[in-house]
Amino acid sequence: MLHEVALATRDPRLVHDAPILAAELGLDLTILADATEVRHRRLAERGALVLDPRAPDLIEAAGRAEPVADVAQLAVCALDSEARASRLAPREDLRRALELARGLAPARPRDAADDILGVSAYAAQQREQVRSVAAFSDVSVLVLGETGTGKELVARSIHELSAPERPFVAVNCAAIPEHLVESELFGHAAGAFTGAHGPRIGLMEAAEDGTLFLDEIGEMPRDPQSALLRAIEYRTFRRVGSNRDVPLRARVLAATNRFAREDRRRLRGDLYFRLAGVTILTAPLRARLVDVPVLVRRCLEDFARRHGGRGTVADDALARLARHPWPGNVRELGAVSAHAAILARGDTVRAAHVEAALESRIDVRSTPPPPSTPGARESGEHPILRPLPEMERELIRRALAECDGNVSRAARLLEVPRSTLRDKMERYGFR
């Protein structure tokens, strides 16, 4: 059981300690920048207590308050860092306040939405949206967000809340060659094309009455999009080479990192709006750095569970992680956490381990172009004319940078097969 509590503070000590204490006390904690923030009204209406550190010391008064049900009542506690500056135990004050809040806030059972970790208002809003939309199994959901922000986690949470015993079929639309998209999604009849020796069900049919998750829908070629739109619109489709209608029973969820208007040109407008019955935005990690400590601890605990070790992180390491911009978002944070844990050799991860892990990472978007050969400079030859391997490597680097590291998109941009690009990336040392 979890008790929903919000804490309004910008004090870095409270931001650091509150998630640790909340986990010990079984609290669903949200940290707000300000108690007047509009989100706190929605929290209070659901019965959550909002602890305002800047309010007068009303711990005793709050302790006599009636349990909150559905009224916008605020429980206030004196945790002001300036007022408490002379005291040596702010953590004990915070524990006392959270223990009080635990006794007042109504309890609820843990569910799949709690897998979306974080104490920021962004994370709380995502959990709220997931719980709200899960009850409507016939509504399509489009998850928008940058690469690595947890779009598939949101989709899986919706599925676990709405149809946990049924299939969850995830499709990476960017990884399917254009000429195979319809066959993969809809299936095909025997003899539909060369090599189709027997009938085969597609992924839509394999999802049965569960969930079909179309990841990277913005990378799907445009030609198959009209068939996909019709299937979602009329809840029926046909296998390639067949004239028999097959009902679409699965719920359709989709995700894309192409959420700016200028980036949606590959996705048909009618398909976009049909998929976006409900839209959920996954915020980038740089917009919710308050979540970094929670996410790092979970990453290190998972690493320790698989490989052994303490799975703990020092305060100086958390401070260093909070200063990083995280262009790769939570996926990058997980990789850096694992690398730092390896460097720590099972001991507590410290700032030096984090620094070393960050410095070892290569961002293809910032890799400088290779210099031209000395012979070309000395001979006065045109600087563009360089050995072919160098020019090819530079072209691949630019394509990857243009496509944010997406290999499938880069291959289409260069007009080469994806496997060929993979081979050349390995040859030239791209990760």
272 pLDDT above the threshold of 80? yes
For the chain, domain boundaries: 2-110, 123-274, 286-359, 374-428
Q: pLDDT tens-digit profile of 105-118? A: 667 788 899 999 99
First and final C-alpha spacing in the chain: 43
Q: How far apart are CA 172 and CA 160, in angstroms?
A: 20
Q: Class of 123-274 per CATH?
A: alpha beta
Question: 371: helix, coil or strand?
Answer: coil
**123-274 and 374-428, same CATH topology:** no
Tens of pLDDT, residues 369-391 = 444 444 444 444 444 455 677 77
CATH architecture type of domain 2-110: 3-Layer(aba) Sandwich (3.40)
CA 394 to chain centre: 31
Q: What is the assigned CATH class of domain 374-428?
A: mainly alpha
Distance, in Å, from the CA atom of 184 to the CA atom of 177, rounded to the nearest integer, reads 10
What number of CA atoms fall less than 13 Å from residue 115's CA on the CB side? 17
Can you tell me the distance from the alpha carbon of 309 to that of 232, in angstroms, rounded to the nearest whole number? 48
Q: Confidence class of residue 46 from pLDDT cuts 50, 70 and 90?
A: low
pLDDT tens track for 79-95: 444 344 334 346 677 77
Q: Please tell me the distance from the alpha carbon of residue 312 to that of residue 299, in angstroms, as a whole number.
A: 10
pLDDT at 402 over 60: yes
Per cent of the chain over pLDDT 90 is 34
pLDDT tens-digit series, residues 286-345: 999 989 999 999 999 999 999 988 889 998 999 899 889 999 999 999 999 999 999 998
**If pLDDT is split at 50, 70 and 90, which confidence band does 407 have?**
confident
Whole-model pTM over 0.95: no
* CATH architecture, range 286-359: Orthogonal Bundle (1.10)
pLDDT in tens, 181-217: 988 999 888 877 777 777 888 999 999 999 999 999 9
